[in-house]
Amino acid sequence: MIREDDTLDPLLAMLERFVKERLIPNEHRVADEDAIPPDIIMEMRGLGLFGLSTPVEYGGIGLNMSQEVQVAFVLGQTSPAFRSLIGTNNGIGSQGIILDGTEEQKSKYLPRLASGEIVGAFALTEPNAGSDASSLRTTARRDGDVYVLNGTKRFITNAPEAGLFTVMARTNPDEKGAGGISAFLVEAGTPGLHIGPADRKMGQKGTHTADVLFEDCRVPATQLLGGVEGQGFKTAMKVLDRGRLHIAAVCVGVSERLIRESLRYAMEREQFGKPIAEFQLIQAMLADSRMEAYAARCMVLDAALRRDQGQNISTEASCCKLFASEMVGRVADRAVQIFGGAGYIADYGIERFYRDVRLFRLYEGTSQIQQLVIARNMMREAS
């Protein structure tokens, strides 16, 4: 694990250069081609970006939560597509294995995920199970030394590229709640596993989602995560806590990029004989955005530190995800307004960010789910 600032700071400086010199110049290309150039993917692998949060003993860099969110602040300064490709390997695609996997599972998959040899995906959402994840219908029936999986997963990030899926399936049909759900590690290419066409999305071009279908997909019993049935939903919730904090940090990074672009444009664009930044109504929008981004950054850093100290941050993670994802939407809206007509034109990239950030309020728990988590935790603590 990186422990000293003199080690973390060079990492952040390297990432800032990479974002500025390689990623930002390729944003329009990624949006136009709906794909990240292969040479950039290779550079990301070479820089170790697929293994930022993987423990050192399994080939990763071993960042703790406080360090990871600082990296996310930097990666958030460019198109979300770049972060999304490596995000599953650092988050929901690997954390279940790190937290609850057997030693054999960790040794088999974590080094490959950390190097970027394979891309991980987290298959929880279904056509009829989104916010109510405990109602999922995908089944896993034990048949000797294998489990037979049947069902459909929806909106699975990186599904077209993934080499390994962490799949939530119901192993106990008599248990209708979360207790009947187990997690499985299913490799791409397993007979019976099929990937649907890539979804056509509102934004985040270059990030691919698709349906994942299981039709009598036979998975060895050794692929049951942790070797224990009925623990899958608990694993998913632990993984999502960390993921929500990471997404909140990305929202901070995007908002800071948008504020910087808005300020630059406002100081250059002249109307009525002076820069529009001198008009108080423009200043008010800039100030509100700066205030909210600063508040979100402070929230994320505080929650990350609490997690590193071993505290339960379920409430704090939801607070961060809720506030930061709603905040970046407001910042993006103000950016379009400050740019005026130019903000609606694709050449400037502002309208792209406006569409991209809308997704942050939906995945890894909608804003409404975060509100429910926060309120229910408050009531539980009070009683």
Domain assignments of the chain as residue spans, ordered by start: 7-115, 120-229, 234-382
CB-count burial class (<10 Å; 0-12, 13-18, 19+) for 281: exposed
pLDDT (0 to 100) of residue 175: 84
pLDDT (0 to 100) of residue 218: 98
**Is domain 120-229 classified as CATH 3.90.1640.10?**
no
pLDDT (0 to 100) of residue 5: 60
Choose among 122, 227, 226, 231: nearest CA to 175.
231
Q: Is the pLDDT of residue 31 over 60?
A: yes
Query: Mean pLDDT, to the nearest integer, of 207-234?
Result: 96
Portion of the chain with pLDDT greater than 70, in percent:
98
Q: Which of 27, 126, 351, 364 is catalytic?
A: 364
Instruction: Note the CATH number of domain 234-382.
Output: 1.20.140.10
Strand extents, DSSP E, the chain: 120-123, 139-143, 146-157, 164-170, 181-187, 193-198, 209-220, 270-271, 274-275
Portion of the chain with pLDDT greater than 90, in percent:
89
Neighbours of 351 (CB within 10 A): 19
Global pTM reads 0.93
Q: Could you read off the pLDDT of 290-342 as tens digits, one per residue?
A: 999 999 999 999 999 999 999 999 999 999 999 999 999 999 999 999 999 99
Q: Could you read off the pLDDT of 125-167 as tens digits, one per residue?
A: 999 877 776 788 999 999 999 999 999 999 999 999 999 999 9
Q: Is the pLDDT of residue 260 over 60?
A: yes
C-alpha span between 86 and 243 (Å, rounded): 13
Q: Could you read off the pLDDT of 4-16 as tens digits, one per residue?
A: 566 789 999 999 9
Query: Mean pLDDT, to the nearest integer, of 188-211?
Result: 96
As separate numbers, helices (DSSP H) first and strands (DSSP E) second, the chain gives 12, 9
CATH topology of domain 7-115: Butyryl-Coa Dehydrogenase, subunit A; domain 1 (1.10.540)
Tokens at 371, concatenated: 């509100």
Annotation marks residue 364 as catalytic? yes
Choose among 338, 226, 326: nearest CA to 285.
338
